[in-house]
Amino acid sequence: SIPLGLYAGLGKASKMGALIKGGNYLELLKDVDTVVFDKTGTLTQGQFDVVEVNGQDDLLMYGAYGEFYSNHPIAKSIVAKYGQSIDENQIDDFKEIAGKGIDVKIQGKHVCLGNESFFEDMNIQVKEPKTVGTIVYVAIDGQFAGSIVVADQIKESTMKGIQLLKEVGIKNTVMLTGDHHRVANDVAQKLGIDTVYSELLPQDKVQQVEKLLKQDGYVAFVGDGINDAPVLARADIGIAMGGVGSDAAIEAADVVLMQDNIETIKDAIIISHKTNKVLK
């Protein structure tokens, strides 16, 4: 059975919004020195807005039809911006490639939507827009047709949350993302994140966490998405966003942040230190 100090600690943590799935994780939290974050939906709101469309008049229509079956937050922003009803009979052969984009047929045309790396794979040259944001390139029948720029906002609680972690002894804050390095570096710089790894595929995120696990100290990973579940499981402590998080992420996590607020991690670490003192 778990000592009473741990029960009290777990109860206190849950009152502050951190649901900890076992006394062992509460004990371990005080020894964490590296906290790794997924960017989208964890540090940022995970809700994109379309900020620019470059190309022919019906480019946004192709974007919305192409993204219609995707659950990605980028897809949702493009469908919302289009705002018109979608005739599903005109969409065929929908394929989503994780960390890259969409390959689909729309009105019989072969349409691809996604990032630079995806277009490099297909050998399609792109024209990069100047606007800062995540760029979704569009190709129609193998020809570059334009781009849709989307942007996400940093969550209000993130800036403070990162600062507070440093105050409770976290030595290394790390950001992992599939997004372009320009967007990734911009967010990391604004937040004072120590280390950034960008343009990662879901499997690269697991590998990167495994490398960090080989170093001294314990590693926490904080994420929200379906793609994050393997990374959450792999870290010493997996922390999921409870509100925006997918069921798979909440299931795979050791700690769930009920208010999606990373400031709560600091509270949990403090409770971990105090609980330890009671035990001794």
Is 201 within 8 Å of 223 (Cβ atoms)? no
Residue choice 179, 236, 260, 263 for contact with ligand ADP (CB under 6 A): 179
- Report the relative pairing of strands 172-176 and 32-38 from DSSP bridges: parallel
Burial of residue 117 (number of CB atoms within 10 Å: 0-12, 13-18, 19+): middle
Give ∠ CA 87-89-94 in degrees, rounded to 5.
100
Which residues 27-56 are close enough to bind ligand ADP by CB under 6 A? 38-40
**Quick check: 81 binds ligand ADP (CB under 6 A)?**
no
Among 12, 72, 81, 110, which residue interacts with ligand ADP (rule: CB under 6 A)? 72
DSSP code for 228: G
- The edge-to-edge listing of strands for the beta sheet with 237-241 is 18-20, 255-257, 237-241, 218-223, 32-38, 172-176, 195-197
What element of type H or E holds 239?
strand 237-241
- 38 part of the active site: yes
Interhelix angle 181-191/156-167, nearest 10 degrees: 60
Among 85-93, 172-180, 186-194, 209-217, which window interacts with ligand ADP (CB under 6 A)? 172-180
Residue with nearest beta carbon to ligand ADP? 178
Residue 225 lies near Mg ion (rule: CB under 5 A): yes
Query: Closest distance between ligand ADP and the C-beta of residue 151, in Å?
Result: 11
Annotated active-site residue in 33, 38, 204, 216? 38
Residue 252 interacting partner from ligand ADP, Mg ion, none (CB closer than 5 to 8 Å by kind): none
Coil, strand or helix: which one is 116?
helix
Minimum distance between the CB of residue 182 and ligand ADP, rounded to whole angstroms? Answer: 11
In this chain, which stretch among 51-59, 69-77, 185-193, 235-243 interacts with ligand ADP, using CB under 6 A?
A: 69-77
| Nearest-approach distance from CB 3 to ligand ADP, in angstroms | 39
Q: Which residues are catalytic?
A: 38
